[in-house]
Amino acid sequence: MQLNFFVAGKTLVVGFDGELDHHTAENVRKEIDDYYDEKMLKNIILDLDNLNFMDSSGIGLILGRYKKAMSNDGKLLLVNVSTRVKKILEMSGITKIIKIYDSVNNALDNI
């Protein structure tokens, strides 16, 4: 799993490239949290455009980052979610609490 980070204002945008599963979730969590904490940010946008696969560990990772952002009076938003991943998110109920946008720019406009 490769992660790409960039900051827009007080928002961390994380691009995923690869698979988010029980083999990668802990390292991904640590990388995101370390970057977010080091830069003292508020919001998180997860760009799932190049996410090839996600299992329940990915759902846990998303929920954990949602709680982290909320604890800083921030938001967590998802963008570029594939049909396959969106089905997993809908079945888990995440889409009831986390908004999905079609682009990073649209998500940034709604922070």
Domains and CATH numbers, the chain: 2-109 (3.30.750.24)
**pLDDT at residue 38, as a whole number:** 97
Both tokens of 94, joined, read: 């995440």
Query: Which residues, listed in sequence order, are joined to residue 100 by a DSSP beta bridge?
Result: 78
Half-sphere exposure of 23 (CA within 13 A, CB side): 5
In order along its 111 residues, the chain shows pLDDT tens digits of 999 999 999 999 999 999 999 999 999 999 999 999 999 999 999 999 999 999 999 999 999 999 999 999 999 999 999 999 999 999 999 999 999 999 999 999 999
Q: What percent of the chain has pLDDT over 90?
A: 99
What's the CA gap between 3 and 34, in Å, rounded? 13
Average pLDDT over all residues of the chain: 97
**pLDDT at residue 18, as a whole number:** 96
**pLDDT at residue 87, as a whole number:** 94
**pLDDT at residue 67, as a whole number:** 98
Cβ neighbours of 58 (radius 10 Å): 25
Single-letter amino acid, residue 91: M
Cβ neighbours of 17 (radius 10 Å): 13
What's the CA gap between 90 and 95, in Å, rounded? 6
The end-to-end CA distance of the chain, in Å, is 27
